[in-house]
């Protein structure tokens, strides 16, 4: 029976929770911050504060996972330059987005979002190994490979036929043929995915085969790809790994009048997979995030939109920008997540939906 006075209950709970006898864990005492005040500006000395941040917060745990951690950037750089005439001033922001010298894998890289992202990462300087099901790459891929060669920035784009739903095959490819031969693996974009079952089909009519096909590619394939990449990163001693899974806004909302139960379920699973892997892999210096595109015009969605143009109008009117997204509008966010510019971002989902969620 509940007491008649709620406030009494709240006070009782508060005393119970705050009582030191309830398995309370003592908080470690924080060390004093060695901040030396500048006699001229009466503010924290930049070098002392920066040294404290780097040495105390990062080296003590041996888990610094970004090349930007031990750099003087932004306001700290401005203050440093004011105090030290010998300090070299140069723009650093674009260097933080650089992927020069890094090795990555992109599944679903033969076309669509995967190929667009692979090219973006190459433009940032990475050597990208694109994975996809066809034995031979598409004409679009050949054009992109020639384009990357012309960049002359140390990047490269290579194609590998594989089946992401075959765990042993994807593991052998990513770990044995890519990570070990390259001597490192830094980033992974899991972009392979399918729509399904049949367009417009009610979930009441799904066959076991229809359901399992979507889950096998969109869930199993994503996990096997990211698992293999993470193993390759750990084995080669990666210090700043980044895994990006391509989810969908349909993983967190249901699009009105669009019966995609299997697809939506699979993408919701990708969101939780990434959050969970982020928590497990943080200690390995690997960040894990997702990108959730909204209605994007790709070759995959074109198969539906070209037959049903009214659906394109519906999708366009479903976001504040009043249009469909283009594949190139995902280039910036994937490069950010793959690079040191997002060094403190993990377990996050980045929506690129034209504001669809804001209605």
Residue 150 known to be catalytic: no
Distance CA(314)–CA(294), nearest Å, equals: 13
98 assigned to active site? no
Q: Which member of 267, 292, 318, 342 is catalytic?
A: 267
Compute the distance between CA of residue 326 and CA of residue 296 in angstroms, rounded to an integer. 6
Q: Is 5 a catalytic residue?
A: no
Q: How far is CA 256 from CA 260, 262, 273, 318, 326, in A?
A: 10, 15, 25, 10, 22
Q: Which residue has the tokens 């951690």?
A: 69
Q: Which helix (H) or strand (E) covers residue 129, if one does? A: strand 127-132
| CA 23 to chain CA mean position, Å | 37
Q: Which among 66, 155, 224, 263 is annotated as catalytic? A: 263
d(C-alpha 64, C-alpha 283), whole Å: 10
> Which entry of 66, 107, 248, 266 is annotated as an active-site residue?
248
At 266, give phi and psi (nearest 5°). Answer: -65, -40
What six digits make up the tokens of 74? 């932004």
Catalytic residue list: 248, 263, 267
């Amino acid at each position: 029976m509940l007491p008649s006075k709620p406030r009494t209950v709240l006070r009782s709970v508060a005393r119970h929770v705050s009582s030191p006898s309830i398995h309370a864990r003592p908080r470690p005492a924080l060390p004093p911050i060695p901040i030396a005040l500048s006699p001229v500006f009466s503010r924290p000395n930049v070098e002392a504060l920066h040294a404290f941040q780097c040495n105390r917060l990062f080296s003590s745990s041996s888990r610094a996972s970004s090349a930007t951690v031990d750099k003087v950037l932004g306001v700290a750089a401005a203050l440093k330059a004011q105090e030290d005439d010998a300090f070299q001033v140069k723009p650093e922001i674009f260097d933080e987005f650089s992927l020069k010298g890094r090795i990555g894998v992109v599944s679903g890289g033969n076309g669509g979002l995967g190929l667009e992202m692979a090219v973006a990462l190459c433009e940032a300087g990475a050597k990208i190994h694109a994975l996809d099901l066809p034995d031979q790459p598409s004409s679009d891929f050949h054009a992109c490979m020639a384009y990357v060669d012309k960049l002359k920035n140390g990047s490269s784009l290579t194609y590998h036929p594989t089946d992401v739903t075959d765990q042993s095959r994807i593991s052998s490819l990513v770990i044995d043929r890519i990570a070990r031969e390259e001597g490192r693996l830094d980033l992974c974009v899991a972009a392979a995915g399918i729509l399904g079952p049949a367009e417009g089909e009610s979930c009441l009519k799904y066959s076991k085969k229809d359901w399992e096909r979507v889950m096998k590619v969109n869930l199993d394939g994503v996990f096997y790809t990211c698992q293999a990449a993470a193993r390759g990163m750990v084995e080669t001693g990666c210090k700043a790994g980044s895994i990006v899974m391509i989810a969908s806004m349909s993983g967190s909302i249901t699009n009105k009048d669009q019966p995609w139960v299997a697809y939506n379920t699979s993408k919701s699973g990708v969101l939780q997979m990434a959050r969970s892997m982020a928590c497990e892999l943080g200690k390995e210096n690997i960040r894990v995030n997702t990108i959730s595109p909204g209605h994007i015009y790709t070759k995959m969605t074109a198969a539906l939109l070209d037959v049903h143009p009214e659906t394109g109008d519906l999708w366009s009117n479903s976001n504040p920008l009043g249009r469909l997204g283009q594949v190139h509008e995902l280039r910036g966010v994937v490069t950010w997540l793959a690079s040191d510019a997002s060094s403190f971002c993990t377990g996050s989902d980045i929506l690129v939906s034209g504001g669809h969620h804001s209605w």
